[in-house]
Amino acid sequence: MKEITLTVAEYNLAGCSNIDINTLTLTSKPLLVLLHGWQDNAATFASLWPLLTQHYNVIAFDWPGHGKSDHKNGDNYYHFVDYIDDLHQVITQLKHEKVYLIGHSLGAIVAGCYAAVFPEYVDKIVLIEGLSPLTENPDMIVERLRVGIVSRQRYRQRQQRLKQRSMASFTEALHLRASANQLPLSLLDAVVKRATVERDGRWYWRHDPRLRCDSLYRMAQQHAQALLSSINAPVLSIIGDSGYASVYKSDVSEWGIQDFTQVMVSGGHHCHLQSSSDVYRHIRTFIPTEFD
């Protein structure tokens, strides 16, 4: 996988691909666009890259404020719906008829919403440990706005300290991330390498501290339902046997998704790291090529 840069309206997104995106034309290989989760980066799929690139064209990029991508300018923040806009800007500049979206966590939620809103660009979607946008009772709107705005003010008051927070070594950063995710160090090495930068003997996180500010708005259940029930593309949901309970659906009819399959693999919320071979096997079955 080679480093690439995708230019959207306000910033550059860093990414990785096994193809030259500037000369990409229609080929017999399906094009997979990999979408990572909140405070992860494109390298969360690194263990899948050598498997997927045998049969597919692959693009994985860092969301704005994540990994090696630019941070948003000025006093801008990271609204969930803006990720859908970012994805649309990426997809519309690719010279490909339709793409296959593979998302983890936040990336899975974005993939589902995008497939509902722009079905003409999407063939199939794979959702790893993610399904519905976060929802809450409409009665929470006042409290949600208050908490979100207060969190922004708190960030502004301590932004310099947050940006200057550093670690003595890469190993310290790796241990911190492994502790937070409760995963072995070896599974997170690539992610942490892409998430950190060394300056003058100290290690810093690349991600924008504003990512941790609370949301100003969350959808009501009816809004999420309307989005998911509008997905026409076939959906494969991959969940970990010890992952988030909220993504397990014994009865998917409540969401109204027309073509939905859910499979379980060993692992937790990052089951694509813990069970890469099984995740790959399910993707290969779900997205065949003309050579199969």
**34 and 158 belong to one structural domain:** no
Distance CA 95, CA 89 (A): 12
**198 and 118 belong to one structural domain:** no
33 is a domain residue: yes
243 is a domain residue: yes
96 is a domain residue: yes
**143 and 129 belong to one structural domain:** no
Band (21; pLDDT cuts 50, 70, 90)? confident
- Can you read off the two tokens belonging to residue 249? 């659906």
The amino acid present at 175, given as its one-letter code, is: H
Of residues 247 and 156, the one with the higher pLDDT is 156
Number of domains in the chain: 2
**Cβ atoms within 10 Å of 122's Cβ, excluding its own:** 23
Residue 250 has pLDDT above 70, yes or no: no
**94 and 188 belong to one structural domain:** no
What's the pLDDT score for residue 24? 64
Range of the domain at 150: 139-212
User: Strand order of the sheet with strand 235-240?
Assistant: 2-7, 12-17, 57-61, 31-35, 99-104, 122-128, 235-240, 260-265
292 is a domain residue: no
**274 and 179 belong to one structural domain:** no
**Cβ atoms within 10 Å of 146's Cβ, excluding its own:** 12
Distance CA 82, CA 25 (A): 27
Average of per-residue pLDDT across 64-72: 97
Residue 213 has pLDDT above 90, yes or no: yes
291 is a domain residue: no
**26 and 153 belong to one structural domain:** no
CATH number, domain containing residue 121: 3.40.50.1820
**7 and 93 belong to one structural domain:** yes
Distance CA 90, CA 7 (A): 8
Band (251; pLDDT cuts 50, 70, 90)? low
Residues with Cβ within 8 Å of 109's Cβ and at least 6 positions away in sequence, in order, are: 80, 103, 127, 130, 131, 132, 133, 134
**76 and 37 belong to one structural domain:** yes
Cβ atoms of residues 110 and 84 within 8 Å: yes
Strands 202-205 and 196-199 come out as antiparallel
Task: Specify whether the backbone of 105 is left (phi greater than 0), alpha (psi in -120 to 50) or beta.
Answer: left
What's the pLDDT score for residue 97? 81
Distance CA 171, CA 189 (A): 9
Domain boundary among 212, 228, 257: 212
Domain boundary among 189, 212, 235: 212
Of residues 248 and 253, the one with the higher pLDDT is 248
What's the pLDDT score for residue 252? 62
Distance CA 280, CA 236 (A): 12
Cβ atoms of residues 90 and 33 within 8 Å: yes
Distance CA 94, CA 65 (A): 22
Residues with Cβ within 8 Å of 81's Cβ and at least 6 positions away in sequence, in order, are: none
205 is a domain residue: yes
**96 and 226 belong to one structural domain:** yes
Average of per-residue pLDDT across 260-284: 96
Residue 26 has pLDDT above 60, yes or no: no
CA-nearest of 237, 267, 232 to 250 is 237
| Separation in Å, CA 122 to CA 64, 102, 152, 205 | 22, 11, 35, 33
Domain boundary among 212, 228, 258: 212
Average of per-residue pLDDT across 184-189: 96
**246 and 112 belong to one structural domain:** yes
**129 and 230 belong to one structural domain:** yes
Task: Record the pTM.
Answer: 0.95
Q: Which helix (H) or strand (E) holds 65?
A: none
**253 and 194 belong to one structural domain:** no
